[in-house]
Structure 1
Amino acid sequence: MKGWGKIIKEINYGRVGAWVSIGSIAVGLSVIVGCSAAVTGSAVPNESQAAAYQSEVSISVAAASSSKAAADAAEAAFTICEEAVSRSKNDVVAFNAYVDAGNQGATDLRAEASTAASSARDTASWFDAVSSELPAELSGLFDELAANLRSSAAVIESDHSADEINSISDASNSIRNSIFEECGSL
């Protein structure tokens, strides 16, 4: 009989399980029916929360746009700085060739002077053309160097003393160094 007792117990457990399952289904259906009933009233957004959310979104979009614009401006300024280094190098080479020709008593001094003056004017024109695309401090330095280069060209083409040429050269070098320092901080 022990075998029958075990079978009866299993049957009883099976009935209890069935009743628990049926009970769970009944509770689930009552929750579904209770949640599907219509609710009275009208759906109205919370205006203050909607305004606050719109404000936060606008601020976030503006900040992202401002950050991108600042990054683009810094990249553009850096590109201009790289070009300034290249153009300055070429201008200094032309100026040094003129100075070397003068120091050596070269017969083609007027040709070297013309080349150096032309280089200074061309470089000044480029600095003038791009200065408006730069931050204020750097733009001012570009304008200052352009004016100095035009003065250098006039001095080179005139009768001048060694002191005059050295003075204008020192001023150019000082301004260039300031530009390169400012470019380095971008």
Structure 2
Amino acid sequence: MRTREIRASFNRDAITVYQAYAPAIGRPAAERGVFVSPFSRHRMTWIKPSFLWMMARSDWARKSGQETVLAIRITRTGWEEALSQAVPTDPDRRVFRSSDEWRRQFAKAVVHVQWDPERSLRGQKLEARSIQVGLTRHIIDRYVDDWILGIDDCTPMVRKVHGLLREGRTSQAREHLPKERLYPPSSGLARRLGAD
């Protein structure tokens, strides 16, 4: 059984990742198609290709500071550039020979990768692990200035799906979910990330 896999909405040129912000950051980003102040380029930002993981994290856009959910289309070359510089947040024996090797690499990493339990439509933790990619301040300019192709505010869709779930209309809720499929990293990237 595959437990660490990248599932995403993507095509030949782009992949969609999700972030949730307070309206003061999220709304201007969606309106302008780029992150602007008060978005900070001086702190780590995490991008996630799993929509349902983002829903669990933001509680369907109800958590304070996460009321605006953005779908951000970035270039696949940018995505793979980030992954090629990533170091997992744990000393996975499939990736590192020792904890010391991991510590040395992680101390210099400009991109972090974390594998968290994927979520079901109702938020239950699943056996499969979903990728989160943390971009440090050393690479965030590349993300904001070079990789982003478009930013959509998907909060209305989030609220609609959550409303259908609350009404017990699970099959209708599922119809509105983004279509995600297995993203195929190269064998070298898979080894670097500890992906299956």
Higher helix proportion, which one? 1
Same fold (TM over 0.5): no
TM-score normalised by length of structure 2: 0.23
Decide which structure has greater strand share: 2
- TM-score w.r.t. structure 1 length? 0.24
Larger Rg: 1
**Higher RCO by CA contacts (8 Å cutoff, separation 6 or greater):** 2
